[in-house]
Structure 1
Amino acid sequence: MIHPDDSGTAHGCPAEPGATTPVRPPAVSFADLRLPAEVLRTLGELGVREPFPIQAATLPDALEGRDVLGRGRTGSGKTLAFGLPLLTRTAGRRAEPKQPLALVLVPTRELAQQVTQALTPYAEALRLRMATVVGGMSIGRQVAALREGAEVLVATPGRLHDLIERNACRLGRVRITVLDEADQMCDMGFLPQVTEALDQVHPDGQRMLFSATLDDDVDQLVRRYLHDPVVHSVDPSAGAVSTMQHHLLVVHGPDRYAVTTEIAARDGRVLLFLDTKHGVDQLTRHLRAGGVHAAALHSGKSQPQRTRTLAQFKNGEITALVATNVAARGLHVDDLDLVVNVDPPTDPKDYVHRAGRTARAGESGSVVTLVLSGQRRETSRVLAEAGIAPTVTKVRSGEAELSRITGAKAPTGIPLDGAPASARPKNTNTPFRGLGTSKATPRGTGGKSRKTAEARKLAEARKAAQIRRGG
């Protein structure tokens, strides 16, 4: 396993003293680095004055062409940490059709689009062409973009694999490869596609791997593909972020729906996480029927829908984003100060990445997890494994304590879509999982009363037949 506090590694193993090139001192300012004048001018125009810690630490080595292993949660400034060296070292070269010169692999469509948007101003300043290839979008247009030629390719592993299979993309001329959020790509089952791509890029090229965690399959990638990398771990885990507060709110089962609704109706934006697409859609309908400007985000939505929903959430048109873990990574929203786990995460990594949507770039934020009394022990264990010691509070809807912690308030009750709020029994503690079912409850149990009625009718019919026969 890779220890994130190691100052350097050789093929992923902790380095012996003197086994690697010494780590360069961090940059104090962008002007201290040998960045092109066009890049420095664009940084100034965009108001980017000083490098974030991960940028200050990694840029000197990355610009020298060294392999870099960076640990930092999303929002720490990783995109420019790998993007500026990638663009600077690619500038002046021209790509042949279908043959990019630099590759950035990311796990999700949203992160691919964010990386592209963040790097485009600098790429344009250096006259570099970028192409983005992700699932859920027209593969024909992506084929055409590669055919026209693009120096920098930002891709998700699955779609890149499809393009390689179609002979629409060849990676042999790629000399700079970046794996961003490598742990999530492995967790999502993309390891075979990632290794396929790394096996095809130029063997002597530069590799940079950035991840929030450095373990398991990520360790395998480092050992196999990074050569004498410099390791930088400058960004703390969610549990160590001093500007992030963690709350475990113990709710009474019948009151859970009302508590969630009041939190969603707060002034300001909120991101609410649930486990299933059905649960997300159900809660979103309920919130909108109660007057909350809510929208759903999950893998069942088309890419144009997801893009539009994110844009509306970022500009404040949508104030409550209800999502599955598809939004747990690669989602950057400025000034998002509250994340709510409506369904408690069952994996420490999920908690860390959900929490990482708030308290970004030095801002403050709160992470709230709702639990029933029976879930408290297991959820506390998960949070402890994530390095979190939350403040535990019992709350009820309408109470001042709930409002103090989350800003909760009563919704307007005015439906946004012309439909009344969906009826829900007051004495239920069913989680928000689609059609009133939980993960451990088969959907068929919901039809018990209907089956009982049918059996009663059948018994009555048999009895009537017996009477007609004189039995």
Structure 2
Amino acid sequence: MTTQSFDATSFHEIGVPTVLSAVLAGQGITTPTPIQAATLPDSLAGRDVLGRGRTGSGKTYAFLLPLVARLVASERSAAPRRPRALVLAPTRELVGQIQAALKPLADAAGLSTITVFGGVGQNPQVAGLRKGVDIVLACPGRLEDLIGQGHCDLGAIEVTVLDEADHMADLGFLPGVRRLLDRTPRGGQRLLFSATLDNAIDVIVKRFLVDPVTHEADSAQSPVSSMAHHVLHVQREQRLPILVDLTSAPGRTVVFTRTKHGAKALARQLNKNGVPAVELHGNLGQNARTRNLDAFHSGKASTLVATDIAARGIHVDDVALVVHADPPVEHKAYLHRSGRTARAGASGTVITFMTDEQVRDVRQLTRLAGIKPVTTKVPGPAHPILVELAPGERSLVPGGFAPPAPAAGRSAGEQGEARNGGSGRNRSRRGRGKGAGKGNGTASGQSRSAQQTAEKPSRNRSRRRSGSGSGAGAPRGAGSGSHSAASFSGRR
């Protein structure tokens, strides 16, 4: 059964408890988005739901509202190490953002929450689970570690949520997700939400969802109508000057590169040219990732240079411009990257840089993404199209973004992170803590497996992703160098 829409003008009409709708109203949220209006009647009624909506469409509240409502209605208490609800997400940043949306609802309902992910010490997570918590929001790898060490038992879970399920599949998380879901009671409610629904997650749906109701609130490929798509045909040596011009305009900009090395190098170049920029990629330790995102949220840095780790789930208000400095290798990544702008009804502009070597790949990419961009040949930063796409007076700050000086009394872990550049191998040892991985089951293996690479990226993965870019789903020619030859990472 597939439902496209549900006519409702308020959360109260759908059946959201008054205490929760009041929290939303206090934030100025009074009208359900299409995905919320479509799914909430079924999820509030206890049905298993398979929901698809574009990034920025409101999926988070679509699963948090029924989760909190069910726990309140059941009137059970959380026992030590036995949480009552589980939310699984692919990245630490997404877990943190779900927690930020959940906290006001949980506080109003008298429920406790905890986040569980790698890259940080496990002791606070262990202590929270031992005390007893209602809702766990987790990345799969660290949660499996803690279960293997005996710190968590999923036998009392009443509601399980999988957010960004297709991204779980892309990152190789599905085996771990299946193991975790096998530990939850079969009678519990299960909600699966994603920006796309495809064959990759069919195994999860068929195995764990019982008579699910499917809701697709919009087309799987169509970009939002308020998003303008442009391709700038540029010469390789002109990309940085053009990018400096675009990012020195007023407003927030997210720039995507294909590799971690490329993101780091490009952020350094932008700062050198006077654009306050921060980087976000898997080689950064958790403290650095948090600091950089905070700087971008607060406006201290106007530009975020990121790999695809930021393409899913990262929400920052008023991102006016998304630039694909390196075109992605497949169309789903293009849509998710682009979804950092034009969120929740706002407008936004998406720009893809295309060199001569990338013409065929970019044309195939946009065709598969279902968009028809405006293509303009831009010889340099003086072209008038740049002011049209990023209007406003350009301003540069000597030195770009200046990060705060490290605190004199920072922890040994932070000092090690600084010395090692946030490398995955050193961060993995610190994050596991004393005795981590010595338990039974999957604990010792998972920290080095593919299931945890998005939480604690490994040195091997860094090498793989900074290579030629070949892989399943890449447009023709991407693996042999047309993308990498002209990518920001390739030239440094």
TM-score bracket relative to the smaller structure: 0.7 to 0.9
Structure 1 residue aligned with 2:448: none
C-alpha distance 408-219 of structure 1, shift in aligned 2 (>3 A): farther
Aligned residues: 407
**One-letter code of the match for 2:27?**
L
Q: Cα distance 1:251–1:410, how it changes in 2: closer, same or farther (>3 A)?
A: farther
1:399 aligns to what?
383
> Over the residues paired in the alignment, what is the CA RMSD in angstroms?
1.9
CA distance in 1, matches of 2:392, 2:148: 51
Following the alignment from structure 2 to structure 1, what is the Cα–Cα distance between the partners of residues 194 and 134? 24
Counterpart position of 1:37: 18
Indicate yes or no: 2:297 matched with 1:241.
Answer: no
Q: 1:156 to 1:329 in 2, by over 3 A?
A: same
Residues 26 and 58, structure 1, Cα contact 8 Å, conserved in 2: no
How far off its partner does 1:413 sit? 7.0
2:350 to 359, 367, 376: 367
Secondary structure of the equivalent of 1:346? coil
- Asked if structure 2 preserves the Cα contact closer than 8 Å seen for 1:273 and 1:322, the reply is yes
1:218 aligns with 2:201: yes
Corresponding position of 1:113: 96
Q: In structure 2, do the counterparts of structure 1 residues 24 and 183 end up closer, same or farther at CA, with 3 Å as the change threshold?
A: closer
SS at 1:115's partner residue? helix
Question: Pick from 85, 89, 94: which aligns with 2:70?
Answer: 89
Q: Which residue of 1 aligns with 2:360?
A: 377
TM-superposition CA deviations, 1:220-256 (whole Å, max 9, x none) = 1111111111111113446341101111110012212
SS of the residue corresponding to residue 322 of structure 1 reads strand
Correspondent of 1:153 among 105, 129, 136:
136
Q: State the AA in 2 paired with 1:86.
A: L
Q: Which of the numbers 237, 240, 244 marks the counterpart of 1:257?
A: 240
* 1:131 paired to 2:114: yes
1:393-413 deviation per Cα after TM superposition (whole angstroms, max 9, x unaligned): 111222112221234876637
Query: What are the within-5 Å matches in structure 2 for residues 169-208 of structure 1?
Result: 169-208=152-191
Which of the residues 433, 450, 456 maps onto 2:489? 433
**Counterpart contact for 2:270–2:276, Cα < 8 Å:** yes
In 2, distance between residues paired with 1:340 and 1:25?
Answer: 35
Which of these residues, 390, 410, 414, is aligned with residue 398 of structure 2?
Answer: 414
Greater displacement, 26-35 / 94-103: 26-35
Q: Distance in 1 between matches of 2:383 and 2:28?
A: 42
Which of 7, 19, 33 is equivalent to 2:2? 7
Structure 1 residue corresponding to 2:34, chosen from 50, 53, 66: 53
The separation in 2 between residues aligned to 1:409 and 1:380, in whole angstroms, is 32
Residue in 2 that maps onto 1:103: 86
Higher mean C-alpha deviation, range 365-374 or range 35-44: 35-44
From 283, 288, 291, the equivalent of 1:308 is 291
Residue 413 to residue 25, structure 1, CA distance change in 2 (3 Å): closer
Q: Deviations over 1:64-103 (max 9, x none)?
A: 1000000012211111111010001011221101111111
- Equivalent in 250, 256, 268 of residue 285 of structure 1: 268
Deviation at 1:136, TM superposition (A): 1.1
Question: Conserved in 2, the CA contact under 8 Å of 1:106 and 1:157?
Answer: yes
1:172-194 CA-to-partner distances (Å, cap 9, x unmatched) read 11121000000001100111110
Q: Which runs of 5+ in 1 are unaligned?
A: 1-5, 9-22, 419-428, 438-471
Separation in structure 2 between the aligned mates of residue 129 and residue 220 of structure 1, nearest angstrom:
32
Partner Cα distance (1:53, 1:313) in 2: 29
Structure 2 residue 254 is the aligned partner of structure 1 residue 271: yes
C-alpha deviations, 1:338-378, integer Å up to 9, x for none?
10000011111110110111111111111100010221111
SS in 1 for 2:337: helix
Q: Report if aligned partners of 1:269, 1:337 keep a CA contact under 8 Å in 2.
A: yes
Structure with larger Rg:
1
CA contact 1:24–1:61 (8 Å) conserved in 2: no
Equivalent residue of 1:39, what SS? helix
Determine the C-alpha separation between the residues in 1 that align with 2:11 and 2:394.
Answer: 48
Q: Report the secondary structure of 2:319's partner residue.
A: coil
Q: Quote how far apart the aligned CAs of 1:263 are.
A: 1.5
Which 5+ residue runs of structure 2 have no aligned equivalent? 403-484
Whichever residue aligns with residue 241 of structure 2, its letter is: A
Distance 1:282 1:409 in 2: 26
Comparing 397-406 with 66-75, greater Cα deviation is found at 397-406
Identity of counterpart residues, as a percentage?
46
- Counterpart code for 1:199: D
Structure 1 residue 24: deviation in Å?
9.4
- State the Cα distance separating 1:7 from its structure 2 match: 1.3
Whether the 8 Å CA contact 1:262–1:411 is kept in 2: the answer is no
Hey, what does 1:357 align to over in structure 2?
Answer: 340
